[in-house]
């Protein structure tokens, strides 16, 4: 027969290793991703696009250029909601408005440049 104390110690060590592995896996897959918060300044992106469209409309007197600017504005209005819906999937995080953040943390990501690229892309 084997020593019962040795068997107990082996079982206890194996149980402790399995529990530690489970906790580490839980930390990596559940806890840490939940700590990441993405913030986006939609107003900044909107104001920049608004300025761009206003400049396009005021620089030209040709109806063709005005129609082109209006088409660009319509495309932006269609891409913005889609881009906002894609942000949480892209960062695997909760996305909130930048104005709702009292102060950034080490786990806060600024997703405004990503949103800007998404709405500028055709």
In the chain, where the domains are located: 1-34, 36-120
**How many Cα atoms are found within 13 Å in the side-chain-facing hemisphere of 80?**
17
Confidence of residue 18 (pLDDT cuts 50, 70, 90): very high
The tokens describing 120, both together, are 């500028």
Confidence of residue 59 (pLDDT cuts 50, 70, 90): confident
Say which CATH topology domain 36-120 has: Protein Binding, DinI Protein; Chain A (3.30.910)
In tens, the pLDDT along 83-99 reads 999 999 988 888 999 98
What does the alpha-carbon distance between residue 20 and residue 61 come to, in Å, rounded to a whole number? 70
The CA-to-CA distance between both ends of the chain, in Å, stands at: 75
Task: Give the residue with greater pLDDT, 31 vs 80.
Answer: 80
């Amino acid at each position: 027969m084997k020593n019962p104390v040795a068997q107990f110690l082996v079982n206890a060590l194996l149980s402790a290793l399995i529990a530690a592995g489970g906790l580490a896996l839980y930390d990596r897959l559940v806890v840490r991703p939940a700590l990441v918060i993405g913030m986006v300044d939609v107003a900044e992106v909107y104001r920049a696009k608004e300025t761009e469209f206003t400049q396009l409309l005021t620089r030209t007197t040709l109806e063709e250029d005005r129609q082109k600017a209006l088409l660009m504005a319509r495309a932006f209005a269609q891409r913005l909601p889609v881009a906002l819906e894609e942000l949480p999937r892209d960062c695997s995080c909760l996305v909130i408005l930048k104005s709702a953040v009292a102060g950034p943390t080490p786990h806060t990501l600024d997703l405004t440049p990503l949103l800007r690229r998404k709405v500028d892309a055709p």
